[in-house]
Amino acid sequence: MKIFAFLVLSIFATQSLLAQNIMPSADNDVMKITFLGTGAPRPSTERYGPSIYVEAGDHKILVDAGPGMRERLFEAGGFEAISGVDHVLVTHLHFDHTVSISSAWLSGWLFGRRVPLHIQGPVGIKDMMENIKRAYQWDVDYRVMVGVPIEGTELIVDEVSDGVIFDEGGLKITAFPVEHMPIDMASGEVLGLRGETIGFRMDYKGHSVLFSGDTRSTEQSEINNVGKDIDLLIHEVQVPSPGATPEANLANVSLSVHSTPQQAGLVFEATKPKMAVYSHIIPPGITADDLEVATRPYYKGPMTVAHDFMEITLSGEDIIIGERLKQSDGKFEDSKVLGK
């Protein structure tokens, strides 16, 4: 009798799994954006470093990997998310965007990724990854020696700048240059430094999302062209510090390479996204209300201010803004690591 009950339960369990398996074909058309970190270089427990997790069908991609990325990704999706990411897009080489690339590489591998990690970023990303690889060679050798499969340690690194950089499985990614290079404050001249900052546009099954990267947006900004009529336009922002204290002056130096709410608002107005989103928010303590008030004189359309663990789902014609359901158990199967 007990065996019978078990069998019946098993059949039901299998059927419900089958039913779930049929569902993903609909889910496959959905694009999900989870904000892992919405801050900038200044440490903040509210806003971790910049990193956005994109799920589009089978594609699991990180846009930047700032401080705290691994922990946020773990909370967002457990070990499955950590090992499921096989593609990282890097907007530029500032540490607040790159310090967790080694985590994406090594944690992903140690906890189950058995395919290479694909990294695409601006000129300089190859050098950075070569150096990171050298820095952790001992660790990789050690773990392989004690039985972790070597598969998954390989890095595929592309230096990209402009145009379509990826087109597979219904997902097209386009890179474009944005202004974020150091300039002479007096003359406005670019001081010259190898490498650049890029933004990305993703198109997937009728959905579209733009990531501005770090940038001081002007009328000439490429975002005005690439972002026309986009679904989601995710833009960075810096609110100027008031007054003329030395602290305020120092904070405002970076306005030469970041965008004020006015500058970002004008981009939103020119591109008319279905939803304008702020992320990479400087300073981290600025409130959503403050940002909205500062933007409204220049842009009247739909907008939201991202926070860590905000989740935006693009499904059909809908844009659903919600919270990422955190994984509480974080169960881990050793067998997955050892590839048994």
Binding-site ranges for Zn ion (CB under 5 A):
94, 96, 214
> Rounded to 5 degrees, what angle do the CA atoms 46, 51, 53 make?
110
The CB-of-180 to Zn ion minimum distance in angstroms stands at 6
Shorter beta-carbon distance to Zn ion: residue 157 or 282: 282
The CB-of-211 to Zn ion minimum distance in angstroms stands at 12
Shorter beta-carbon distance to Zn ion: residue 91 or 295: 91
Shorter beta-carbon distance to Zn ion: residue 32 or 235: 235
Q: Rounded to a whole number, what is the distance in angstroms from the first to the last CA of the chain?
A: 34
The CB-of-97 to Zn ion minimum distance in angstroms stands at 6
Structure tokens at 240: 């100027």
Sheet harboring 303-305: ordered strands across?
163-168, 171-178, 197-204, 207-211, 232-238, 275-282, 303-305
The CB-of-332 to Zn ion minimum distance in angstroms stands at 32
Shorter beta-carbon distance to Zn ion: residue 96 or 203: 96
Closest CA to 47 of 313, 303, 310: 310
Shorter beta-carbon distance to Zn ion: residue 98 or 153: 98
Shorter beta-carbon distance to Zn ion: residue 115 or 255: 255
The CB-of-214 to Zn ion minimum distance in angstroms stands at 3
The CB-of-54 to Zn ion minimum distance in angstroms stands at 18
